[in-house]
Amino acid sequence: MYSSSFRPEALLRCEKIQSALRTSHADSILLNTNANLYYASGRVFSGYVYVPAEGEPHYFVRRPVGLKGDTVHYIHKPEQIPALLAEAGLPIPRCVALEWDASHGDFTRLAAVFPDVEVVNGSAVMRAVRSVKTNYELALMQESAVKHAEVYRRIESVFREGMTDIELQIEIERLLRLHGNLGLFRINGQSMEIFMGNVICGDNADSPTPYDFAMGGAGLSCSIPVGANGSLIRPGMTVMVDMCGNFTGYMTDMTRVYSVGELSAEAARAHACSIEIHRAVARMGRPGVAAADLYRLAVQIAQDAGLDDYFMGHTQKAGFVGHGVGIEVNEAPVLAPRSKELLVENQVIALEPKFVIPHVGAVGIEDTYVVTPEGMKAITSAPIEILPLQ
């Protein structure tokens, strides 16, 4: 299933899942979405991972052929799982956690595999487990962060006068891919669709999208109405670059702003306010602090600066200022007013206090941070000021 060097990490993740199961009602979990298969086994495959209350995970594999391991079982259909568990000497679970985020069809089929067994929400279990990263995961996120920042430092080199937002985005996509970006932008749930990220210039930042985004963008098609819309990049506008950093299966999130010509004083002031929010939230963001308090701190700073009209969007506002990130871009915790979560050491959070200034565009930066006892430490490091394009 995995290389011998990954074995200690696989066992550590298994222990984390088992520890979370002990605080839930379930005595086992059966995983079937790609993000959780990747977490639990170190690779994506077609099949299922079963983690019992005690002992090693069992891998039920449909494809690919050729995976090996003591607890790897090849199957044609999930209905074979109970007999194979019995053969392996494992009891039928009393209560199994299944993924609420899986399709209803898959969920229903898996629930029927264990008739008369209680079923609870396994997505909630995995969301909590995955929000706190292991050292192995932090190293992968660091690797993504370094490459992400490396590409951002080269954005000026691919800009040409007369470009549209989408033309610039395409060159940034190519740079990202040439630096090893895997392209795939993994998003939890089925509702949000984005392609590699967004480049937004000028008033397109104020076009509302279907999603809970501060900066929106009308997009190029009603089938994916978000992001670049073909606007010409012109003097007096900002260009906000918010592209995905999936270089390792773990994603970093990072936003920087560029300008062509002179910007309004208000845009510059709002950008400075975003940086001030970053410093204040990073200082306060320690283990045990409420995610909702960090949201309120950010809003307070924007209000004190008289910029709340533009904070986290203008025509349509986003309801958060930061979010967990890892295998997926929208993990726990969420820095939002109703969040019940307290920060935990080694959570990884993308903080994105942004402003939409009418007639100018979006300003503010986004960085990805690790929660430490000394506060949140940024891992995406690149110049934070508004950078001139040309």
Q: Does 5 bind a copy of itself (CB under 8 A)?
A: no
Order of strands, edge to edge, in the sheet holding 72-74? 72-74, 58-63, 46-52, 28-31, 95-98, 118-121
Amino acid (one-letter) located at 339: S
Q: How far is the CB of 379 from a copy of itself (least distance, A)?
A: 19
Q: Does 174 bind a copy of itself (CB under 8 A)?
A: yes
Q: What track of x and - describes contact with a copy of itself for positions 255 through 294 (by CB under 8 A)? A: ----------------------------------------
Assess contact for 164 and 231: CB atoms under 8 A. Answer: yes
Neighbours of 163 (CB within 10 A): 19
Contact with a copy of itself (CB under 8 A): which of 16, 45, 151, 203? Answer: 45
Q: How far is the CB of 169 from a copy of itself (least distance, A)?
A: 8
Write the CA distances from 19 to 57, 176, 290, 340, integer angstroms: 14, 37, 23, 21
Q: Which is nearer to a copy of itself, 93 or 216 (CB)?
A: 216
Q: Does 38 bind a copy of itself (CB under 8 A)?
A: yes
Q: How far is the CB of 17 from a copy of itself (least distance, A)?
A: 18
For residue 168 the two structure tokens come to: 């610039």
Q: Does 112 bind a copy of itself (CB under 8 A)?
A: no
Q: Does 19 bind a copy of itself (CB under 8 A)?
A: no
Contact with a copy of itself (CB under 8 A): which of 44, 86, 92, 112? Answer: 44
Q: Which is nearer to a copy of itself, 174 or 377 (CB)?
A: 174
Assess contact for 277 and 270: CB atoms under 8 A. Answer: no
Collapsing DSSP to helix, strand or coil, 74 comes out as strand
Segment (H or E) for 9:
helix 7-23
User: For residue 13, what are the contacts with CB-CB under 8 A and spacing of at least 6?
Assistant: 39, 40, 129, 134
Contact residues toward a copy of itself (CB under 8 A) are 2, 32-34, 38, 42-46, 62-66, 98-108, 121, 123, 166-167, 170-171, 173-174, 177-178, 180, 182-184, 186, 189-191, 193, 195-196, 207-212, 216, 220-225, 246, 248-249, 315-316, 327
